[in-house]
Each structure stands twice: as C-alpha cells, then as structure tokens.
Amino acid sequence: MTREPLTKKELEEIKKILVEMKKKITGEIRRLTEDNISKSQKEASGEISSYTYHMADMASASFDRDFAFSLASNEQELLYMIDEALSKIESGEYGICESCGVRIPKRRLKAIPYARYCVKCQEEEEKRIKREMK
C-alpha cells in the first residue's frame, strides 16, 4: 500500500502548526522557569519568613517546584521533537517513519505533526520502552 506524499501546501500548513506549537511551548517553559526562579529567590531572601512557614508548606512548595521542573522537562522534549520535524520538512525527510521507512499517514501527521513513527512502529517502540522499565 503506497501512500501519497504530502503536497507543498500540506507541508506549509504543518510547518505553520509546528512553528505555533514551538512558540507556545517556549513561552510555557519560560513562564515555568521564571515562576520557579522567582519563588526560589523569595525563599532564599527570607521574603516569606515573616509568616509561620510550616513543614507541610515547605514540602508543598518543594513538590510544586519539582512538578514545574518536570513539566518543563517534558515540554523541552516536545520542543526537541518539534525542532526535529521542522528540520525534516526542510531536508525533505518529513513524514517518513524513522523505524521502517514507510510514509506516515497524512491523518496521523495532521493529528501529531511531530510524529516520528507510523502507528505500528510507535506501538512497538512503546512496548520496547515498557519492557525496559521492568
């Protein structure tokens, strides 16, 4: 079963979507980072020391900070995949499964424009990761 390659217009539409996603994610990472730096500086300077700072509050603040950094890390990974997809559009390699080399269906690329694998290979990759985690 051969799949039609994306048209120039479709590639431009996907590129536009990827660029918008990149802007949004970059802004989210910046906001998460700035918020946590601001909170850390307040804690270090004692700005919040006029309040009774309960251990549970400190644990909650620590959890919030760790959670925000985890989100930023996930967003950074997504940003990497978006950059890879944009590079592939420029090099003419976009839409080709990195594992088996077949064209990824247009429907999948429109739903997940940074997809690296066809559905079958993505499922295999997820199974491999689960096995490695055991």
CATH of 8-133, one of 1.20.120.910, 3.30.300.30, 1.10.390.10, 2.60.15.10: 1.20.120.910
Tracing tokens 């499922």 back to the chain, one arrives at 123
pLDDT digits (tens, 9 = 90+) for 63-74: 666 666 667 678
pLDDT, average across residues 101-106: 96
The Cα–Cα gap between 18 and 105 comes to 17
The partner residues of 103 in beta bridges, in order of sequence, read 96
Residue 72 neighbours by CB under 8 Å, 6+ apart: 28, 29, 32, 33
| Token pair listed for 47 | 């700005």
Question: For residue 29, what pLDDT is reported?
Answer: 84
pLDDT digits (tens, 9 = 90+) for 26-56: 998 888 788 766 665 555 555 555 455 566 6
The Cα–Cα gap between 79 and 77 comes to 5
pLDDT digits (tens, 9 = 90+) for 7-31: 999 999 999 999 999 999 999 888 8
